[in-house]
Structure 1
Amino acid sequence: MTQQNAAFEEQFGGIPAVWLRFNQFEAAVIPSVGANLVAFRNAEKGFRYLREPNQDQMDEFMAAPAVYGIPILSPPNRYEDGRFPWNGKVYQLPVNEPATGNHLHGFLHDAEWKVEGYGSDQLESYVLLSQDVKEGHTFHQYLPFTFTVTLRYSLSSQGLQQQLIVRNNGKEYMPNLFAFHTAIAVPFAPDSQASDYTAKITIGQRRELNERSLPTGQFQPLTPEEEQLKKDGVSPFFAAMDNHYTAEPQNGRNYMELTDHRTGDKLVYDVGTSYKHWMIWNNNMGGEFFCPEPQMNLVNAPNVEGIPAEEIGLIGLEPGELFEQTSRLYPITSQK
């Protein structure tokens, strides 16, 4: 990786990947494992912003890709008993989380994606990946809709941009439910500690979850630390979190901001306002990473009654329609 601005194929941990470089930034995507963007770095400073699998963790990554990098989830999170009511029909998803009896995380995060192309110029380095869901695809086996998902990742002077596009190629109204199980490294600076960090996230209300991690329909009061999370920031490990929140954009932006108070550097994850919910998971305060997960729909949304579909993000696409949302990860450099 000696070229300044470039896009090229090279392995990551022994697996074929597409690497991007632009000025001080570099990133890597693994197409064969869910188009997971497993690395986003500032090479000049030695910052690694995402939880990356190292060489000794590649088997673990292959077995559980949802806890590294930026995995795409669709349909995201949990569905009670695997039931998925939609447009007058009830579809049955496999129950793949025995502990709760739910379906979890959908069918795209471990699928093989097609590389449509990659390149670099004086403005950006990019890669375009696609998933064509049709008869014969695992997703189609359980949710028989025909559509194409494309992910475009690009590096520029503005950091890392992610563009998600979904097109309904079929003849039926289809569910359009997506999330990203983004694993942010804490610390991201090599000489910092987790205790040097605070996170701010534009959460709104916390939804009560039952023993099966499904919403009860009720809200719970925010703790003082959660109030800090939405205002000035707090340690992302202040408590064990596997929490579901409404998104409440601030100043027109829906985002997470992680600050290293030792260096003064910040990482901003601006996800866009189509993501009406946040899941926040910190691996039982395990340190090293936490997951601020932008999610379009309420957990178990198709099984929820009495709440408007638009409010809970239970949205769809008519035949021929497109959906697009752009998100960005970018640093704010310390002025120290």
Structure 2
Amino acid sequence: MNEHIPATGHQFEIVHGGVRAVITEVGAALRIFEVDGVPYSETYEADRVPPAAAGAVLAPWPNRVADGSWSLEGETQQLALTEPDRHNAIHGLLRHTPWTVGEHTAAAVVLHAMIPVQPGWPVPLLTAVEYSVDDHGLTVQHTVENLGSRSVPFGLGVHPYPRAGNAATDDCTLRLSASSVLPIDPERMLPDRPPRRLEGEEQDLRTGRKLAGVWLDTAFGGAVPLPDDPVGLVRHSVTDSAGHGVQLWADPVFGWVQVYTAADFPERGRAVAIEPMTCPPDALNSGTDLIVLEQGQTWSARWGLRPIG
């Protein structure tokens, strides 16, 4: 009898004490992160397509590319319009790709995927992601290597939905380490003006804003470590009324963060995605904060989740 393979492929569990995560083969997505049985990221059934890109690795660009079109060294590149209603390419090329296991131990798993030359992407990249758990929580390290014969710009992001244990999302407080917001055209969700400083009620996102009544699908910039941060990390968080919850930390290269409030996450309803990104929406056209990989060069960066409070 043939083995039943879930929609998300094989599941890779990693455990350290009470810290547990489950990663999917398809998309290398974070499907479960919990500590002592308490969930600190939204989850979903293995046999369904990840809802609203939950846990996905977004490479070689996060967010959107207007009309799926961009230029490399004067050559127009045309990506598939994976968000056809808005005539955009969205969230990179790896969301539906089966990743290959490089190593799987009790507390860590390394997955690899190739981004081959294809319509809209002219330079091959080898990508890897390592998920590991320890006493502090979950650490995720991304690596990208240029296997082509010329340099190429790229960006990377991830799409986790952190949650403050079993607290209702509307009862939680969101804090962002960001100082600017990127205005967008609401019809196409693309930038239509330069970033501006947070102002008015937006300032509350830095000190903490309760999520009840808050609806966002917004890119924020200027995400930098606080001056007194002991290890120089960018930090965002979701906490309950008692201050317990989860912190999403990231290397400073993740200077952008997209926040998306979902209305109908399966078996949860309201949920919030905090998406660290190395560049803003449509960066393949604007050039803002793109990372340029030379031939044979490798890039690496980390982010993670840890319970707090």
Q: TM-score of the superposition, structure 2-length normalised?
A: 0.88
Amino acid at match of 1:265: H
Q: How does 1:267-306 map to 2 (within 5 A)?
A: 267-283=246-262, 287-304=269-286
Matched, 1:214 2:166: no
Q: Does structure 2 conserve the Cα–Cα contact (< 8 Å) formed by 1:27 and 1:40?
A: yes
CA-to-aligned-CA distance 1:266-324 (integer Å, 9 cap, x gap): 311101111121111102597531111111112112322xxxx4xx2122100111101
CA-to-aligned-CA distance 1:153-209 (integer Å, 9 cap, x gap): 001112100000111111110122111111223x522xx333431111111211111
Q: How does 1:89-104 map to 2 (within 5 A)?
A: 89-104=75-90
Could you say what secondary structure the match of 1:319 adopts?
coil
Say what the alpha-carbon RMSD is for the aligned residues.
2.3
Q: Does structure 2 conserve the Cα–Cα contact (< 8 Å) formed by 1:38 and 1:52?
A: yes
Could you say what secondary structure the match of 2:204 adopts?
helix
Cα deviation, residue 147, structure 1: 1.8
The aligned counterpart of 1:48 is 39
Q: Distance in 2 between matches of 1:166 and 1:234?
A: 35
User: Alignment length, in residue pairs?
Assistant: 296
Q: Distance in 1 between matches of 2:140 and 2:148?
A: 25
Distance 1:91 1:229, change over 3 A: same
CA-to-aligned-CA distance 1:45-87 (integer Å, 9 cap, x gap): x3111111137xx33xx2x555323443432211111111123
CA-to-aligned-CA distance 1:216-274 (integer Å, 9 cap, x gap): 133456353321111x2112344211111113312333121121224x42311101111
Distance 1:265 1:199, change over 3 A: same
Could you say what secondary structure the match of 1:203 adopts?
coil
Instruction: Flag the structure with more relative contact order, 1 or 2, with Cα contacts below 8 A and sequence separation at least 6.
Output: 2
The aligned counterpart of 1:30 is 24
Amino acid at match of 1:84: W
From 293, 303, 309, give the equivalent of 1:317: 293
Q: Distance in 2 between matches of 1:214 and 1:195?
A: 27
The aligned counterpart of 2:214 is 239
Could you say what secondary structure the match of 2:105 adopts?
strand
Q: Does structure 2 conserve the Cα–Cα contact (< 8 Å) formed by 1:71 and 1:181?
A: yes
The aligned counterpart of 1:8 is none
Q: Does structure 1 conserve the Cα–Cα contact (< 8 Å) formed by 2:159 and 2:274?
A: yes
Q: Does structure 1 conserve the Cα–Cα contact (< 8 Å) formed by 2:68 and 2:89?
A: yes
From 119, 131, 144, give the equivalent of 2:113: 131
Q: Distance in 2 between matches of 1:208 and 1:18?
A: 39
Could you say what secondary structure the match of 1:75 adopts?
coil
Could you say what secondary structure the match of 1:99 adopts?
helix
Could you say what secondary structure the match of 1:161 adopts?
strand
Q: Distance in 1 between matches of 2:211 and 2:60?
A: 26
Matched, 1:259 2:246: no
Q: Distance in 2 between matches of 1:258 and 1:184?
A: 7
From 11, 32, 35, give the equivalent of 1:39: 32
Q: Does structure 2 conserve the Cα–Cα contact (< 8 Å) formed by 1:272 and 1:326?
A: yes
Amino acid at match of 2:194: Q
CA-to-aligned-CA distance 1:122-149 (integer Å, 9 cap, x gap): xxx10000012335xxxx3430212210
Unaligned runs of 5+ in 2: none
Matched, 1:167 2:148: no
Amino acid at match of 1:182: P
Amino acid at match of 1:198: T
Amino acid at match of 1:300: D
The aligned counterpart of 1:148 is 126
Could you say what secondary structure the match of 2:114 adopts?
strand
Unaligned runs of 5+ in 1: 1-10
Matched, 1:184 2:162: yes
Distance 1:326 1:132, change over 3 A: same
